[in-house]
Amino acid sequence: MTLVSGPVRAGLAASGPRHAGVRAALVVVAVTILALAWPLGAPLYAQVYPGPDAGTVNEAITNAGLDAGFDSEPLTQFETTTFRATVIYGTSSPGLPTVKVAWSNEAQLAAEAEDTFNIVPTSASRQFLDAGTRRPGGGYELTWTWNVTPVVSGQQTLLLRILPIVVVEGEVVPGLIDVNKPIAVTVDVHPVQRDFDDALKAAADMNISLPTEMIVGEKYDVSASMSLAAGHSDTVSADIDVNPDADSAAVTILEASAAPSAARAALAVSGEESIVRRWTVISDEPGQVSLIFTATIEGHAAAQDLAGKVPKKASARATERGPGPWDIFAQAVQYVAPIVALAIGILALSAAWKKRKAKAEDLDDQQAAEGSGDPAS
């Protein structure tokens, strides 16, 4: 790992095709705390380094090199690694940041933003210079360790504090604080988290096939699909479900996919993997049919379970079925039948009247013939 002095927060950096680079700043702050209680110690490096009986502040603190970093890099989200902070003294440390140390020192590591890291110390928080380990090249070193688990992706900040504990002639010296320059380290998002985030974006762009117009009682094929980048299905799972919105007109939804309880993944022409779900939808009443299509994305990054839902709304207008040809004919017959019946009645009455008239005329002719006949005969 390379330690780089610079701003407290560094920009995003990529770490490869499977890693979204996230930069976390490690702020090293040396704060001198004045304390009264001191353990008794035997030969200290009093010629060069402050002892518990230092007479002045300048004798109580001195410079040391700081080598701080992680055992494994790049860091991945949700995966635990060890962070070490080593103070090197009694020799020059070119290329390393300089911090102030005293005979007794404490080290603290914390996240600047709450709940962005899980940090567990694995060494004593206070250590003494006379307990240092001799280095092969000369000088001594003290090391503090923590188990660090990044929890939140994005630009985060770790704070490393080196705190020299100083007492001068048994008196507390107030206001002795030294702040060192920040040190930047690189933290990468977990590859599963990256795939998970990509899947959430793909879910927001899911394609929905729903007709804009529906006829009450008719069946319609409805589908929803989303694409996953090649290989993402190995790290995350995705499924799509549909339900009517609260203000939707009544509708019946029937499962039509081959696998009702899971999405069906098919290799697309582009090399991506498609999640496709199909249903049969029937409008039960006229009105606005509003459907909520929800993509559920799940994954498992180290010890962290990942889960997210992305809803997307689509609507159609449902109307009653219009009249068919037979309906039009029946309706026409319904209006014409009374007129036809009336016409038939009139014709029948006219025929009956003519027949009666003809019969009356025949009877008159017969009577007239009888009245004009020969009496002799």
Q: Taking 50 as the threshold, does the pLDDT of residue 74 lie above it?
A: yes
pLDDT level of residue 356 (50, 70, 90 thresholds): confident
Choose between 354 and 37: higher pLDDT. 354
Question: What mean pLDDT, rounded, does the chain reach?
Answer: 76
pLDDT of residue 10: 27
Cα 273 from Cα 225, distance rounded (Å): 10
- Cβ–Cβ < 8 Å for 90, 48: yes
Where do the structural domains in the chain lie, given as residue ranges?
4-189, 194-319
Mean pLDDT of 277-281: 95
- Coil/strand/helix, residue 130: helix
Reading the block at residue 318, the tokens are: 């449902």
Maximum mean pLDDT: which of 23-37, 111-125, 260-274: 111-125
Percent above pLDDT 70 for the chain? 69
pLDDT of residue 171: 60
Q: Taking 60 as the threshold, does the pLDDT of residue 94 lie above it?
A: yes
Q: What is the pLDDT of residues 299-325, one digit of tens each?
A: 888 778 889 999 999 999 999 886 667
Residue with token string 């003519």: 354
Q: Taking 90 as the threshold, does the pLDDT of residue 225 lie above it?
A: yes
- Coil/strand/helix, residue 112: coil
pLDDT of residue 57: 66
pLDDT of residue 270: 42
pLDDT of residue 336: 75
Q: Taking 60 as the threshold, does the pLDDT of residue 149 lie above it?
A: yes
Cα 246 from Cα 259, distance rounded (Å): 27
Cα 258 from Cα 268, distance rounded (Å): 17
Cα 65 from Cα 176, distance rounded (Å): 20
Mean pLDDT of 352-366: 77
Mean pLDDT of 133-161: 88
Choose between 234 and 311: higher pLDDT. 311
Cα 226 from Cα 248, distance rounded (Å): 24
DSSP label of 271: S
CATH architecture of 194-319: Sandwich (2.60)
What are residue 304's DSSP bridge partners?
A: 301
Mean pLDDT of 184-204: 81
Cis bond before residue 74 (omega within 30° of 0) = yes
Q: Taking 70 as the threshold, does the pLDDT of residue 140 lie above it?
A: yes
DSSP label of 272: -
CB atoms within 10 A of CB 163: 22
- Cβ–Cβ < 8 Å for 241, 262: no
Name residues whose C-beta falls within 8 Å of residue 340's C-beta, 6 or more positions apart in sequence.
none
Cα 107 from Cα 141, distance rounded (Å): 14
Which of 47-70 are b and which e, b meaning 16 or more Cβ less than 10 Å from the residue's Cβ?
eebbbbebeeeeebbbebbbbbbb
Percent above pLDDT 90 for the chain? 32
328 Cα distance to chain centroid: 54
Residue with token string 């992706």: 153
- Closest by Cα among 126, 140, 111, 112 to 48: 140
- Coil/strand/helix, residue 126: strand
DSSP label of 232: G
pLDDT of residue 37: 35
Q: Taking 60 as the threshold, does the pLDDT of residue 19 lie above it?
A: no
- Cβ–Cβ < 8 Å for 158, 152: no
Cα 366 from Cα 248, distance rounded (Å): 86
Residue with token string 């995350």: 236
pLDDT of residue 212: 94
pLDDT level of residue 235 (50, 70, 90 thresholds): confident
pLDDT level of residue 7 (50, 70, 90 thresholds): very low
Q: Of 90-94, 168-172, 339-343, 348-352, which gets the smallest average pLDDT?
A: 168-172
pLDDT of residue 48: 39
pLDDT of residue 89: 92
Parallel/antiparallel/unpaired status of strands 183-188 and 75-76: parallel
Q: Taking 50 as the threshold, does the pLDDT of residue 12 lie above it?
A: no
- Cβ–Cβ < 8 Å for 70, 187: no
Name residues whose C-beta falls within 8 Å of residue 191's C-beta, 6 or more positions apart in sequence.
18, 19, 76, 235, 301
